[in-house]
Amino acid sequence: MSKKLNLLVVGSGGREHAICKSFNESQNVVNVYCAPGNSGMESAGIKTVNISELDFSSLADFVVENQIDWTFVGPEDALVAGITDYFRGRGLAIFGPNKFAAQLEGSKDFALKFMVRHDIPTADYQTFQSAKEGIAALENFDAPIVVKADGLAAGKGVTIAKSREDAQKVISKMFTNGESQVVLEEFLTGPEYSLFVVVNGTDFQILPMAQDHKRAYDNDEGPNTGGMGAYSPVPQLLKQDYQEMVSKVVEPSIAGLNKDNFDYHGILYIGLILTDNGPKVIEYNVRLGDPETQVVLPRLKTDFAEIIDNCLSGIKMNQLEISSQACLGIVLAAEGYPALPVKGQLIPKFGKEVGISIDYANVLAKNGHLYGNGGRILSVVALQDTLSDAQSKAYAYIDELEFKNCYYRKDIGNKALM
């Protein structure tokens, strides 16, 4: 790739910060814009654009006016709402699945039917359109019971009910809050893994594996969140188990996308649980994950911008080159997250340190300082030769800082190191 690129990334969080930084590292990239971005990104040379990720018309106008070569979509809501279809309708290059394919994340029921149709291993499930039907069906499930909102919920629409009584309350609350469908699933046990695939029709390549930490507190306690930290690689995953994930899940998923004419061009996230009966899919997402992106992309030695450019140019992807180094990220969240996060906390200025990077998410700039704006505020990410070193480095750095009205988990990476 010899041409020089101007790129737009749609989104505003830590995931988009990591994507933009990865693109900026390419020798073939001149400018990286992020819409709407966040104030913390500007320290990394990313040009933020004050346009909402759902304002497709204004985003497309910006692309035309600024001669953007192509757009990469970070968040799921824009994809589910049809940003790819809109851009393509205006003749603009964009990397992300279309509105129809994005239902794999936009509807749990849609995704589960796809898995069943293509013999992709997943949990037993049932879908309901009313609280009465869902509650009546609880007798078909042993506790604990997984209750999922069918639509988008920013990673927080899943409840693991410890009893049928608890499940009843969750079902009732979801329908009261406006859900049109609720899915009940068999509870699967085993370690969870995050697998990301760059898909360009029939062509695909798998990015480095990662493990997320969904629960708010140490030892996987507390409510589900959008993710409190991640690490890559996952040394506890045996080679034969990984190969089974590829042969029984990844390859049938790609084959299914093409058999059903999804015209899939984008990232496919596969959330996996390694059960005693082999790998099973918990969910699909149609984009990179947050916080996994922050630890996956730093390990990718192949130029990420070139990978996407080749996809959009119809050039077959080569085997990806992955670094042997390990990456671990710790999410700093606002006190009260995910229910009622506190806003307005002063974020300290971070000193530069080799092997440490900061990916900003929910922050605002005021009078030369950054302040927390609710939810997950930032990630402290360490890249080192070993996972143990990355964990030690990340915690040594974050433990030295003073944060008010914030918290972070103290056990990111322990599952691989204990």
Choose among 296, 293, 380: nearest CA to 9.
293
**What integer is the mean pLDDT of 208-229?**
95
Strand order in the sheet with 47-48: 47-48, 29-36, 5-11, 70-73, 94-95
State whether CATH 3.30.470.20 applies to domain 189-313. yes
220-242 CB burial, b ≥16 within 10 A, e <16: eeeebbbbbbbbbbbeebeeeeb
308-354 pLDDT, tens digit per residue, is 999 999 999 999 999 999 999 999 999 999 999 999 999 998 888 99
Q: Is the pLDDT of residue 357 over 80?
A: yes
Higher pLDDT, 134 or 247: 247
Superfamily (CATH H level) for 326-417:
Phosphoribosylglycinamide synthetase, C-terminal domain (3.90.600.10)
- Confidence band of 151 (pLDDT split at 50, 70, 90): confident
Q: Is the pLDDT of residue 365 over 90?
A: yes
**What integer is the mean pLDDT of 377-394?**
98
**What integer is the mean pLDDT of 146-163?**
80
What topology is assigned to 124-186 in CATH? Dna Ligase; domain 1 (3.30.1490)
- Confidence band of 410 (pLDDT split at 50, 70, 90): very high
Using CB atoms within 10 A of its CB, is residue 140 exposed (0-12), middle (13-18) or buried (19+)?
A: exposed
Domain boundaries, the chain: 5-95, 124-186, 189-313, 326-417
Question: Which pTM was predicted?
Answer: 0.94
Indicate if 326-417 has the same CATH topology as 124-186.
no
In the prediction, which pLDDT does 1 show? 54
Choose among 161, 207, 167, 174: nearest CA to 108.
174
**Mean pLDDT over each residue of the chain, to the nearest integer:** 95
State whether CATH 1.10.760.10 applies to domain 5-95. no
234-259 pLDDT, tens digit per residue, is 999 999 999 999 999 999 999 999 99
335-348 pLDDT, tens digit per residue, is 999 999 999 999 99
Q: Could you say which DSSP state residue 170 is in? A: H
**What integer is the mean pLDDT of 383-402?**
96
